[in-house]
Every structure is written in structure tokens, then in C-alpha cells.
Chains A and B, each alone.
Chain A
Amino acid sequence: EVQLVESGGGLVQPGGSLRLSCAASGFTFDDYAMHWVRQAPGKGLEWVSGISWNSGSIGSADSVKGRFTISRDNSKNSLYLQINSLRPEDTAFYYCAKGSGTGPYGSGTYYSRFDLWGRGTLVTVSS
């Protein structure tokens, strides 16, 4: 079955850290860019970070630069998000998403639409 399964969310204090994971199955993981997208409860979608198939192209939203780090391990069909210096405004569902299509700079970048999503993992930042 083609799916993405996130894990690693939870309750963390401000200033704390978490590592989110996304396990992919049912498709050739290292053929595709991958992304993290978040959604605060009752709010809209916000792209967090994306990574190309070979980790050679990485991008992040300004709101998380310097605090969040995306990575992948193609041998394990897994995507990760290391999140540090957490703030209350980081409270959200974090979705893993598979990239599809080619962006304006070719197939070796993270620019893509998202054609497969996981169910999300909730990160709550509160004291």
C-alpha cells in the first residue's frame, strides 16, 4: 500500500526539541522530493521544509530557518524533521508529503506539488 506514516509528535515545553519521522512505503522513495507541511489547529496549511531526492536541494520557510532541519535516509525510506527551540506558535499537526512533478529548476530540486500525504503527527508546545 502506498502510504506515509508520521511519528514523533508530542507535548514539549517551549525551548525544547523533537525529532519527527515519516516512514514511506509502496513507492520508490528515492525517486521523489519530500516535504513537511504543518497546520495549526483550526488554521490553514503552511509549508515547512522540502528536500530533493538526493538531499542536494533543501528549502525551508523563514519561520523555521535555523531551528528546523529536514533530512532523509533513502536506505530506510524515511524522512525526518529535527525541530529545536520550539515556540508555542509551532503547535500544529505536522504532515509528511510526497513531492510530484518538476519545478522550474529541474527534477533535482525540492520544488513540487504534493500528491501523497500522511495523516500527520501533533506537536504541542506548552509549559
Chain B
Amino acid sequence: EIVLTQSPGTLSLSPGERASLSCRASQTISSTYLAWYQQKPGQAPRLVIYGASSRATGIPDRFSGSGSGTDFTLTISRLEPEDFAVYYCQQYGSSPLTFGGGTKVEIK
């Protein structure tokens, strides 16, 4: 099983600041099969990034993804109030499909 470790657990930032979220895999993943999701309280998750760096439909360009191998990053260039949420990475190149433990981006 591929274990995804996300860091930090919580990121306290102000609107307008840059957020960098890390996802580290226990084994090499093809970047094709790495996705990021956003989840707000009381809501279902929403796909943000797929293929490590492609934005999903309707996702603003302040969101970007990068990385390869075992290290991947989600970057939010300038935080908007609606971006404060929990973010999960997920791999779907190997079964079982797995998620990271999540990073909470909270308002400082």
C-alpha cells in the first residue's frame, strides 16, 4: 500500500498569503495519478488538481500543483477567504487507492 504523508498538519495564514502544501509518498508514483481535493466543513470534497499539475474544471489559476516521484506540492498563490479548508492528496496508480491525512489551511 502506498502511504501518503501530508505536511504540515495545519497551516495558519492570512488572506493574500501564499500556501504551500506537501504530499510525500512511500513509493514512487507516476505524476499522472496524483490528485488534490479541497473539503470545506459540512461539504463533500471537490477535485482541485489531477495529474499532479492540471487544474480541474472551474478551479481558479491561483491553484497550482507540481512534483514528481515521491514529492508533490499544492500551491495557492494568494489565499482568498474561500480557500480556507482541508486539502487531501490522493494516488490512483496503485491499489488500494489512498489519501493523505490532510492539511488544514486556517485563517491566522
A residues bordering B, Cβ < 8 Å?
35, 37, 44-47, 50, 59-62, 95, 100-101, 103-104, 111-115, 117-120
Contact B95–A111 (Cβ < 8 Å): yes
Interchain residue pairs with CB less than 8 A apart (28): A37-B45, A45-B37, A45-B39, A45-B45, A45-B99, A45-B102, A46-B99, A47-B90, A47-B97, A100-B47, A101-B50, A103-B92, A103-B93, A104-B32, A104-B93, A104-B94, A111-B33, A111-B95, A111-B97, A113-B50, A114-B37, A114-B47, A115-B50, A115-B57, A117-B44, A118-B44, A119-B44, A120-B44
Given contacts A45-B88, A103-B93, A104-B30, contact A115 B99 (CB under 8 A): no
- Kindly state the separation between the CA atoms of A110 and B50 in the bound complex, as whole angstroms: 16
5 closest A-B pairs by CB: A117-B44, A113-B35, A47-B97, A45-B99, A59-B95
Smallest distance from the beta carbon of B3 to chain A beta carbons, Å?
Answer: 12
Given contacts A44-B99, A47-B96, A61-B96, contact A115 B56 (CB under 8 A): yes
Smallest distance from the beta carbon of A59 to chain B beta carbons, Å?
Answer: 5
- Kindly state the separation between the CA atoms of A120 and B43 in the bound complex, as whole angstroms: 9
Contact A113–B95 (Cβ < 8 Å): no
